[in-house]
Amino acid sequence: MIADLIVVGIGELLTPYLQPPVKGASMADIVRIQKAFVAVKNGKIIDFGSGDPSRYRGPETLWYDAQGKIMVPGFVDGHTHLVFAGSREREFSQKVAGVPYLEILQSGGGIHATVEATRKAGKVELTAAALRSLDRFVEFGVTTLEAKSGYGLDIETEVKTLEVMAELQGLHPVEIVPTFMGAHAIPKEYHSDRGGYMAKLMEAMKIVKARNLAVFADVFCEEGVFTPEETVGLLEAAREIGLIPKIHADEIVPLGGAGIAVTVEAASADHLMAIRKEDIPRLAESSVIANLLPGTSFFLNHAYADARALIDQGVAVGVASDYNPGSSPSENFQLILQLAAGKLRMKPEEVLTAATLNPAFQLGLSERIGSIGLGKQADFVLLDAPNWEYVLYHYGVSHTDAVFKNGVQVVANGHRIGGISS
Ligand SMILES: [Zn+2]
């Protein structure tokens, strides 16, 4: 078979390879191949390994010399709030002074400020802002990401946000997996009518499913937001409608969100800084991915999730950016991975699995993406570093040299080819 693309001269190729969800100690079990090549045809990997790939070379084959750079699978960011309007740097001084997030929220700041801006924004404005973010994400090596609505909190704006995500698919190489998150907060106009908003959410989920605008439905289960009972009700309804549950769980107050994730068979339980100890073994027995978001802890000066306890007790862990305008306004996915190593005390190999194959599984895409394997989509990143450990050690910067999506190069010399910010 003749390849369209052959990447040669890879200093080291690293990839997870086990059947996901990859749990506990197995997360550190990855393949490392020195002096490697990858051969690609029609956007899929037809061979990889060490040795001479000349047998795949034809007159039309693009022969790409990686010049000793290291290769990993394209990163999969399993938790972002990609589409929103405005920014919240004015709250920064309050945050720095130590005003708790829930207090800023109750005073009409926080998410309510973004909701107001997003309701007012047109699709062109939302699309332009998201494209700029996607350019940054891909420059940090992210080739697929999950994106949540949840800055509309009314049917019209939630649908508008999800429509923007669908349109972005035709405009940008980064693949987006959409999540409906109308249950991100109770909007101001429903503060004295929670039941009314719950009914609206049920109606919205049906519309979203009927129009095929989302794969998942997510609920922010937290004190002052949605109660455990409301969360279970919404996620059970979501499953019945055909949306897969996800949950913002145990971020600030231990309400038992991780246990709810197991009960409703959620794809993921996210945050988990305040997880109840007794829920850890339940997570370990389930297929729920524990999605840890260290950028949020970093930015809010909060405690970090206890990744070691989760991994050591056999849970399948993922790491994600939680990119959003309030608690983690950064697309620097490599910083997130550096925090996972330094603050969550994850081993370098565990970080790789948590950034690729486990989030791909969580998004239902691990047959196609999340590792470098035969028949898999040719999504990979070349990092200009002597080894993977160095990528996690030399922090705060991007090590990306090149990114390939579906076998097509979309980043060169660390910059997005043809992007709006290049
Ligand atoms: Zn979030």
Q: Of 238, 162, 146, which is closest to residue 198 (Cα–Cα)?
A: 238
> What average pLDDT does this structure show over 94-111?
81
CB neighbours of 62 closer than 8 A, spacing ≥ 6? 4, 5, 6
Q: Assign 102 a pLDDT band (cuts: 50, 70, 90).
A: confident
The rounded Å distance from CA 249 to ligand 1 centre is 10
Strand-pair category, 75-77 with 70-73 = unpaired
Cα Rg, the chain, nearest whole Å? 21
Residue 422 has pLDDT above 60, yes or no: no
* Burial annotation 88-100 (CB, 10 A radius, 16+ → b, else e): beebeebbeeeee
Residue 205 has pLDDT above 60, yes or no: yes
The rounded Å distance from CA 51 to ligand 1 centre is 44
Q: Express each pLDDT in 301-326 by its tens digit.
A: 899 999 999 999 999 999 999 999 99
The rounded Å distance from CA 327 to ligand 1 centre is 9
> What average pLDDT does this structure show over 339-344?
98
Q: Express each pLDDT in 145-161 by its tens digit.
A: 999 999 999 999 999 99
Domain boundaries, the chain: 5-73+371-416, 76-362
The rounded Å distance from CA 274 to ligand 1 centre is 15
Task: Identify the bridge partners of residue 145 per DSSP, sorted by sequence position.
Answer: 77, 176
The pLDDT assigned to 420 comes to: 65
**What's the token pair of residue 170?**
């035709």
The rounded Å distance from CA 9 to ligand 1 centre is 39
Exposed/middle/buried for 290, CB within 10 Å: 0-12, 13-18, 19+? buried
Domains 5-73+371-416 and 76-362 share a fold: no
Least confident of 45-59, 87-101, 201-215: 87-101
The rounded Å distance from CA 79 to ligand 1 centre is 6
The rounded Å distance from CA 271 to ligand 1 centre is 8
CB neighbours of 100 closer than 8 A, spacing ≥ 6? none
The rounded Å distance from CA 302 to ligand 1 centre is 15
Q: Express each pLDDT in 363-377 by its tens digit.
A: 999 999 999 999 999
Q: Express each pLDDT in 374-415 by its tens digit.
A: 999 999 999 999 999 999 999 999 999 999 999 999 999 999
Q: Of 18, 41, 38, which is closest to residue 30 (Cα–Cα)?
A: 18
Task: Say if residues 44 and 376 touch (Cβ distance below 8 Å).
Answer: yes
* Greatest mean pLDDT range, 11-25, 79-93, 249-263: 11-25
Residue 99 has pLDDT above 90, yes or no: no
The rounded Å distance from CA 80 to ligand 1 centre is 6
The rounded Å distance from CA 298 to ligand 1 centre is 14
The rounded Å distance from CA 166 to ligand 1 centre is 20
> What average pLDDT does this structure show over 285-289?
98
The rounded Å distance from CA 34 to ligand 1 centre is 37
Exposed/middle/buried for 239, CB within 10 Å: 0-12, 13-18, 19+? middle
The rounded Å distance from CA 147 to ligand 1 centre is 9
**Could you tell me what percent of the chain has a pLDDT over 70?**
99
The rounded Å distance from CA 294 to ligand 1 centre is 12
> What average pLDDT does this structure show over 76-92?
93
DSSP 281-319: HHHHHSS-EEEE-HHHHHHHTPPPP-HHHHHHTT--EEE
Q: Express each pLDDT in 122-131 by its tens digit.
A: 999 999 999 9
Return the CATH number of 5-73+371-416, one of 2.30.40.10, 3.30.70.20, 3.40.50.1240, 1.10.760.10.
2.30.40.10
Return the CATH number of 76-362, one of 3.40.50.620, 3.30.930.10, 3.20.20.140, 3.40.50.1400.
3.20.20.140
d(Cα 210, Cα 208) in Å, to the nearest integer? Answer: 6
User: Backbone phi, then psi, for 342, in 5-degree steps?
Assistant: -80, -40
The rounded Å distance from CA 381 to ligand 1 centre is 25
Residue 226 has pLDDT above 90, yes or no: yes
CB neighbours of 96 closer than 8 A, spacing ≥ 6? none
> What average pLDDT does this structure show over 262-282?
97
The rounded Å distance from CA 62 to ligand 1 centre is 40
The rounded Å distance from CA 270 to ligand 1 centre is 8
Q: Express each pLDDT in 229-242 by its tens digit.
A: 999 999 999 999 99
d(Cα 388, Cα 281) in Å, to the nearest integer? Answer: 30
Q: Express each pLDDT in 166-192 by its tens digit.
A: 999 999 999 999 999 999 999 989 989
The rounded Å distance from CA 231 to ligand 1 centre is 15
The pLDDT assigned to 391 comes to: 98
> What average pLDDT does this structure show over 323-345?
97
The pLDDT assigned to 252 comes to: 87
Strand-pair category, 216-220 with 175-183 = parallel
Q: Assign 261 a pLDDT band (cuts: 50, 70, 90).
A: very high
Least confident of 43-47, 58-62, 95-99, 389-393: 95-99
Task: Say if residues 112 and 306 touch (Cβ distance below 8 Å).
Answer: no
The rounded Å distance from CA 175 to ligand 1 centre is 19
The rounded Å distance from CA 182 to ligand 1 centre is 12
Residue 62 has pLDDT above 90, yes or no: yes
The rounded Å distance from CA 42 to ligand 1 centre is 35
Strand-pair category, 408-412 with 415-416 = antiparallel
The rounded Å distance from CA 320 to ligand 1 centre is 9
The pLDDT assigned to 50 comes to: 97
The rounded Å distance from CA 29 to ligand 1 centre is 28
**What's the token pair of residue 116?**
């107001």
**What's the token pair of residue 357?**
């194959």
The pLDDT assigned to 92 comes to: 83
